[in-house]
């Protein structure tokens, strides 16, 4: 958890500094017209959106993937009917995978430790989830939500300057949590898109969530899948709370809605 936090903090700090630099440059331009602030917000976050994939590559120390990993992504991309993204291995010390990019360029990164924890079917399921983000245009949905939320906030400050204190409170109590709610919705849709596209990914996706979220060992690749699934039924009844600043649905919630798409096929190789 500390490793994940460290890398994401580094990413957000670099992103904040890049946004700040873009803001300073745009603010110095001799341009002014009614509602300029909306144009400014769209331009600032739009430019950051275009450079953010390169920030990701730098912070997470990405290198082009090996042929085996690339072929997994390529084969799944054909199933999901999306263009094969650039595939990278991130040389970091926590297990994860993530989709990133902009309208011109798409990528998927797989971190090194995940190969010691998940088997090939579970890795495919996780990649299917990430490809679903690209299929659903989620990077664009999230950047548009950031633009919209910040435009509302700045617009309220512009129109109602006398209520600045109340507007700031409104931002932190309503608008800021709204972004996280949108993010959770996007993550849930990516889960469902993945298993609807290929429902053989359902159980591997469930076991990958349990391994990554609860077992958290270093050498779990060959752990019998039925043993992991035995944990599922206690986890689905677990209450993790409804944190408003959570970017993903809780794992118990994800296991509950994924269960509706389960197909048991005992002939799948490496099931045990």
Are 131 and 194 contacting, i.e. CB atoms less than 8 angstroms apart?
Answer: yes
110: closest CA among 121, 123, 122, 120?
123
Name the active-site residue from 130, 187, 206, 253: 130
Active site residue 130: yes
Q: Which residues are catalytic?
A: 130
């Amino acid at each position: 958890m500390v490793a994940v936090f460290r890398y994401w903090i580094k990413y957000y700090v670099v992103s904040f500094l890049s946004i700040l630099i873009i803001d300073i440059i745009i603010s110095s331009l001799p341009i002014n017209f009614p509602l300029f602030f909306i144009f400014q917000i769209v331009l600032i976050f739009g430019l950051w959106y275009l450079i953010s994939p390169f920030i990701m590559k730098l912070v997470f120390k990405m290198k082009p993937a090996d042929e085996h990993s690339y072929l997994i992504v390529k084969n799944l991309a054909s199933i999901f009917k999306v263009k094969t993204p650039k595939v990278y291995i991130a040389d970091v010390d926590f297990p994860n995978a993530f989709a990133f990019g902009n309208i011109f360029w798409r990528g998927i990164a797989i971190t090194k430790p995940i190969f010691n924890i998940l088997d090939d079917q579970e890795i495919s399921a996780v990649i299917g989830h990430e490809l679903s983000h690209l299929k659903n245009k989620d990077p664009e949905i999230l950047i548009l939500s950031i633009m919209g939320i910040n435009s509302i906030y700045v617009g309220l400050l512009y129109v109602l300057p006398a209520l600045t204190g109340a507007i700031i409170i409104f931002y932190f109590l309503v608008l800021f949590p709204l972004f996280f709610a949108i993010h959770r919705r996007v993550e849930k849709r990516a889960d469902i898109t993945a298993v609807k596209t290929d429902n053989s990914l359902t159980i591997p996706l469930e076991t990958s969530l349990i391994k990554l979220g609860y077992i958290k060992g270093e050498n779990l690749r060959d752990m019998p899948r039925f043993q992991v699934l035995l944990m599922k039924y206690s986890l689905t009844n677990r209450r993790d709370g409804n944190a408003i600043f959570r970017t993903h649905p809780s794992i118990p919630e994800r296991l509950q809605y994924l269960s509706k798409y389960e197909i048991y096929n005992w002939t799948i190789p490496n099931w045990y």
